């Protein structure tokens, strides 16, 4: 059966409105997932939910077992993944509060287990990653936002940093020169592993702060959490409409 999965990031270790039917601990040949997979109903529609940073948000971005997470979702029959991600805004149009469905990414991470093709038993396959996000899932997100009356930035380049520290002002200036509109820490290797397992993958990013050096305000966790709370209602409404479109099928 092909199913839809939502991977929740910061602020979404649980998912508001999700009726939980089952919590399924999953062990894969790549290890254990960040949290038990949750099988549930959102707006009456079946889906799987996974808390990327663990149930209590204890896993930093570079310690997440992305391979186990993606393998487990593939193993339970997911064909499509909507990844939620709190991000910093770099482009002037990406102010805190903006929701965005990026269409490109640049990977600045290092030292993460980033491929299923990792030793001689796996062989070598170079997957096409020209367009890292699945266009049909992106369009489903955009259509759901339009239907729900929620403003969304369609497109943008997500720069993925190693973290867990935030960036320097010079790093953000370099990322802006590189063409990044958003900065976050978790889209890679998650997106590439999804592609290696032939899963459709799209990100719904929500801007929770300006990138380092782009505002006079210090970037604090308190301010980030306050902004996540302000975005949560719109994200919940958007996803409730999205699941009715059954994009997993």
Question: Residue numbers of the site for ligand HPA (CB under 6 A)?
Answer: 86-88, 161, 166-167, 183-185, 208-209, 211
Select 174 or 245, whichever has its Cβ closest to ligand HPA. Answer: 174
Between CA 58 and CA 34 the distance in angstroms is: 9
> Residue 100 CB, nearest distance to ligand HPA (Å)?
12
> Residue 194 CB, nearest distance to ligand HPA (Å)?
20
> Residue 227 CB, nearest distance to ligand HPA (Å)?
9
Q: Cβ-closest residue to ligand HPA?
A: 88
9 DSSP 8-state letter: -
Residue 158's CB: how many other CB atoms inside 10 A? 28
> Residue 5 CB, nearest distance to ligand HPA (Å)?
21
∠ CA(120), CA(60), CA(102), 5° rounding?
80
Per-residue buried b or exposed e for 50-61, using 16+ beta carbons within 10 Å of the residue's own CB? bbbbeeebebeb
Select 74 or 160, whichever has its Cβ closest to ligand HPA. Answer: 160
The upper half-sphere exposure of residue 118, i.e. CA atoms within 13 Å in the direction of its Cβ, equals: 10
Q: What separation in angstroms does the CA of 233 have from each of 140, 238, 240? A: 19, 9, 11
> Residue 183 CB, nearest distance to ligand HPA (Å)?
4
Q: Is the peptide bond before 234 cis (omega within 30 degrees of 0)?
A: no
């Amino acid at each position: 059966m092909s199913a839809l999965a939502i991977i929740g990031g910061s602020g979404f270790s649980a998912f508001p409105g999700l009726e939980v039917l089952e919590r399924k601990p999953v062990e894969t040949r790549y290890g254990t997932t960040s949290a038990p997979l949750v099988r549930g109903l959102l707006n009456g529609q079946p889906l799987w939910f996974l808390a990327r940073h663990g149930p209590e948000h204890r896993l930093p971005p570079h310690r997440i077992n992305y391979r186990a997470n993606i393998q487990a979702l593939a193993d339970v029959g997911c064909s499509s993944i909507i990844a939620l991600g709190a991000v910093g805004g770099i482009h002037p149009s990406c102010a805190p509060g903006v929701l965005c469905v990026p269409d490109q990414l640049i990977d600045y991470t290092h030292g993460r287990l980033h491929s299923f093709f990792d030793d001689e038993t796996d062989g070598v396959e170079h997957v096409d990653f020209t367009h890292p996000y699945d266009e049909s899932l992106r369009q489903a997100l955009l259509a759901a936002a339009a239907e729900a009356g929620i403003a969304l930035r369609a497109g943008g380049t997500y720069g993925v940093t190693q973290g867990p520290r935030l960036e320097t002002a010079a790093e953000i200036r370099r990322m802006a020169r590189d063409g990044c509109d958003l900065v976050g820490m978790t889209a890679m290797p998650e997106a590439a592993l999804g592609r290696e397992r032939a899963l459709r993958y799209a990100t719904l990013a929500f801007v929770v702060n300006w990138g380092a050096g782009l505002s006079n305000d210090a970037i604090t966790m308190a301010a980030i959490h306050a902004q996540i709370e302000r975005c949560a209602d719109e994200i919940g409404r958007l996803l409730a409409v999205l699941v009715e479109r059954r994009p997993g099928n």
